Amino acid sequence: MVGLTPSSAHVGANLRGFSDVAGQSSTVYLRLGHGCTDGKNYFGTTSFEVVVPIEAGTPRPEFKAGWRAKVVPSAEKNDKGVALSNKITWTAKSPLQAIDHGTFAEFAFQVRWSAAITAVTKVAFPTTQVCKRGLQDFDTKKKAPNDFFLKWIITDGSTLAATADTEFGPAPTVTVKPAA
C-alpha cells in the first residue's frame, strides 16, 4: 500500500485582529492548506474536525456553504461538570462540496477565552481532516482506495510516523494573553 504523504503546510490558526485577551470573545480561523495524497493521486477533504479546549469556552461554528456543522461536548468534565472540550465537526453535504486538493479553505468559530487564563498561554486546537474512500482524483481519475486522515494533533513538539492512511503534525495554536 502506498503511504500517505504531506503536500505542504499543516492547518494554521489566525485571529485576524480579534481579541487574544482572557475573558474576551474572539473568532478563530483555521486554514486547511491541502487535501490528501496517495502516490500521484490527490483527494479532497470531505470532513474537518477541531477539538476546542475549555480555555476557549463553548464554540459557535461559522456557517460554511455546502457543509454541515455539529458541536459535541466531551464526556470528560471538570469538577464543576463543565466539558473539558468541545468537538466541532464540519461535513460536506455531498462529494461535490469536497475541498479540492489544490485549493485551501477556512473554517471559523467564535469563542470566549477563559478569564482564568492568568499568564500568556498557547491554546492548541487539535484537528483532523478526512478524505473519503471513493473520492476521485481530478487529474488521474483514480478513486481513493480507503479513507485518509490528516491529524494535526501534536502539542508537545514530538513527532509521529505516518501510517498507510494517516499523516500527523503539530496542532494549530493561538497565544492568549491575560487580562490587564
What is the chain's pLDDT, residue by residue, as a tens digit (180 residues)? 233 333 334 799 999 888 999 999 999 999 998 788 888 888 889 999 999 999 999 999 999 999 999 999 999 999 999 999 999 999 999 988 989 878 889 999 999 999 999 999 999 999 999 988 877 777 888 888 888 899 999 999 899 999 988 999 999 999 999 998
Which residue reads 466541532 in cell numbers?
Answer: 88
**Domain 12-175 maps to which CATH number in 2.40.30.260, 2.40.50.140, 2.60.40.2230, 3.90.1300.10?**
2.60.40.2230
Distance in angstroms (rounded) separating the CA atoms of residues 137 and 78: 44
**Tally of residues, the chain:** 180
